[in-house]
Amino acid sequence: MDHTDMGDKLEKILVTNEEIQAKLEDMARQIDADYDGDLLVVGVLKGAVMVMADLVRKIHSPLNMDWMAVSSYGMGTKSSGVVRILKDLDADVTGRHVLIVEDIIDSGLTLAWLKKNLLDRGAQSVRIAAILRKPEAAKVDVQVDYLGFDIPDEFVVGYGLDYAEQFRHLPFVGTLAPHVYGG
């Protein structure tokens, strides 16, 4: 795939699409081994759209897909752990085995809140799959059951992740050139 038009905006590619697909295959095999059908896969909009689409196509167990959109209140770029639901699930999670699919875990506060919220609503189990994790996340008490890649503490874009709603469509994960965000 050619994204040479992005050449002046990106600094480097951290994870290629080939690496992502291979890792998702491993994650899907693990998920198939762990679940015995009746799985509700919940994608967190908008960042998880790519990972959701690619991951579920590799899972063989029967599943339903649903979506949530959340916004975490907070100053600047760090999330506060106070989360507002912008779009709720269509499905009832009562008694369901839920797998939350996320793009990236940074502070982990959003996912910690989401997991508790779904358990409080009566989900039988809630596990987490994320394609990327930053070092901060290791410090909080949220377990990532299926993890793609640990990455350095840098702001990344692509494969669903945006900067000001740009770059989500890139098939790989990369860092931005400092001039893009005024660095």
Q: Does 106 bind ligand 5GP (CB under 6 A)?
A: yes
Helix axes 49-56, 17-34, angle to 10 degrees: 60
Q: State which of residues 10, 109, 118, 131 lies at the interface with ligand 5GP (CB under 6 A).
A: 109
- How far is it, in rounded angstroms, from Cα 130 to Cα 53? 13
Residues 56, 65 contacting (CB under 8 angstroms): yes
Residue from 142, 10, 125 nearest 79 by CA: 142
- How far is it, in rounded angstroms, from Cα 102 to Cα 122? 21
Residue 21 makes CB contacts below 8 A (sequence gap 6+) with 54
Q: Does 144 bind ligand 5GP (CB under 6 A)?
A: no
Q: Does 47 bind ligand 5GP (CB under 6 A)?
A: yes
Q: Which does 109 bind (CB under 5 to 8 A by kind): ligand 5GP, Mg ion, none?
A: ligand 5GP
Q: State which of residues 50, 54, 79, 114 lies at the interface with ligand 5GP (CB under 6 A).
A: 79
Q: Does 162 bind Mg ion (CB under 5 A)?
A: yes
Is 106 annotated as catalytic? Answer: yes
Measured CA distances, 100 to 42, 97, 105, 133 (Å) = 5, 10, 12, 14
Instruction: Please tell me which residue in 66, 90, 106, 145 is annotated as part of the active site.
Output: 106
Shortest Cβ 32–ligand 5GP spacing (Å): 25
Q: Does 16 bind ligand 5GP (CB under 6 A)?
A: no
Instruction: Count residues near Mg ion (CB under 5 A).
Output: 4
Q: Where along the sequence are the contacts to ligand 5GP (CB under 6 A)?
A: 47, 72, 79, 102-110, 155-157, 161-163
User: Which are the catalytic amino acids?
Assistant: 106
